[in-house]
Amino acid sequence: MDYENKLVLAPMVRVGTLPFRLLAAHYGADITYGEEIIDHKMIKCERRINEHVGAVDFVEKGTDNVVFRTCSLEKNQVVFQMGTSNAVRALSAAQLVCQDVAAIDINMGCPKSFSISGGMGAALLKKPDLIHDILTTLRRNLDIPITCKIRLLNSSQDTVELARRIETTGVSALAVHGRRVADRPRDPAKWSEIADVVAALSVPVIANGDIFEYEDFHHIKVATGASSVMVARGALWNASIFSADGKLPWEEVKREYVRKSISWDNDIKSTKHTLKEMIMHYSCLELPEGKAVIKSDTLADLAKLYGEEKYNQFVQEKRLFDGSR
């Protein structure tokens, strides 16, 4: 994995599944992070080849619950992001998936209560010794790049000190979200404090925060000196933000996402959640489209809603043909 001059899809819970990662890559993302997967959940999984859709699934044992799905198309660019608070458990989870992904990332920035209450995410920012233990354990035992994603601490000096400690573990890159734990998305990202981290480190820094147009990739690189740039909401609202040719109409992007969800048999709840997030940015769920998405029970329902019935039929017929050979 090369972390220089890369456009990166950020990890997003319930959004960063295989179809959305491939959607971002389709429009120009170089590196795509999956949604955060908790180590407790991952170590209960077994690896299965899904010949039905041509994917590799990590399925909760004794169930059909797919916790993580990937495929050969994204092998060299997908990052498995993990929530953890224990080095041994993190290693067990990482060893399950390390042959199928390009890198492993540890979430150290999630401010959500479910993450912090388990000692994961942003809770790790206050535990530098545990951070060191987790990252060094992974680095010593795995042959793929190890990275982590942090938020800003209370002062720029504190953030720099933690970043330097993280660098000593041998990570391949560090992603920095330019907000503190208490900040809300509407609060401006503090690019200047990301710049302080960049100036203090020799490893690549991935800058994250307030990227809404393709031009912002350049603006934040100039402002921070970061090696690469990561985008979350800007990509969720229109994944073609990664395209140097400019954004496509969001209606077209939505249809492409529906097609990819059909192709990879994405979970209907995840697909609906992502579509609703797209709709809420541009429109309203109370309008006919939003109501129709909410009422949809299957991917076939969504295919009908977005005029992709022929594509859905083609995919289903191809699976039947391939399965009969």
- To the query of whether residue 148 is one of the catalytic residues in this protein, the response is no
Is there a contact between 305 and 296 (Cβ–Cβ < 8 Å)? yes
Q: How would you class 89 by CB atoms within 10 Å of its CB: exposed for 0-12, middle for 13-18, buried for 19 or more?
A: middle
- Strand pairing report for 45-50 and 55-60: antiparallel
Query: Measuring CA to CA, which residue among 22, 38, 16, 5 is closest to residue 256?
Result: 22
Q: DSSP string of 199-253? A: HH-SS-EEEES---SHHHHHHHHHHH--SEEEESHHHHH-GGGG-TT-PPPHHHH
Query: Measuring CA to CA, which residue among 257, 267, 261, 11 is closest to residue 148?
Result: 11
> Among residues 98, 110, 148, 284, which one is catalytic?
110
Question: What is the rounded CA–CA span in Å between residue 239 and residue 6?
Answer: 15
CA angle 303/231/216 to nearest 5° reads 115
Using alpha carbons, list the distances in angstroms from residue 86 to 106, 137, 256: 11, 10, 39
Active-site residues, by number, are 110
